[in-house]
Amino acid sequence: MGKTITPTGRACKAQMTMKNISLSELAEKANLSRTYVSGIINGRYAGEAADTQLKKICLILGVEPPDRVASY
């Protein structure tokens, strides 16, 4: 099936809850689809493009991006 959620993904979800930001709002701010944002946060997407978008999501939420995204 999919990948397991990373510590960064958990931190993103926690910040979304604390800041009362929905997945749809986050996706709109990141200019990405809701499904893609969900997949990135939950670790279902890998690769350079997903890593770049994860950093963008972290910036929006105020979460420290991972130094090095895990190899898949």
Instruction: Domain of residue 26: give its range.
Output: 7-61
For CA atoms 25, 14, 44, 70, the dihedral sign is positive
CATH number for position 48: 1.10.260
Q: Which of 12, 33, 8 is nearest to 21 (CA)?
A: 12
* Structure-token match 């990948």, residue found: 3
Q: What is the pLDDT along the chain (72 residues), one digit of tens a residue?
A: 556 788 999 999 999 999 999 999 999 999 999 999 999 999 898 888 999 999 999 999 999 888 755 443
Whether pTM > 0.85 for this model: the answer is no
34 domain residue, yes or no: yes
Q: Which of 33, 34, 43, 41 is nearest to 2 (CA)?
A: 43
Instruction: Please tell me the total count of domains within the chain.
Output: 1
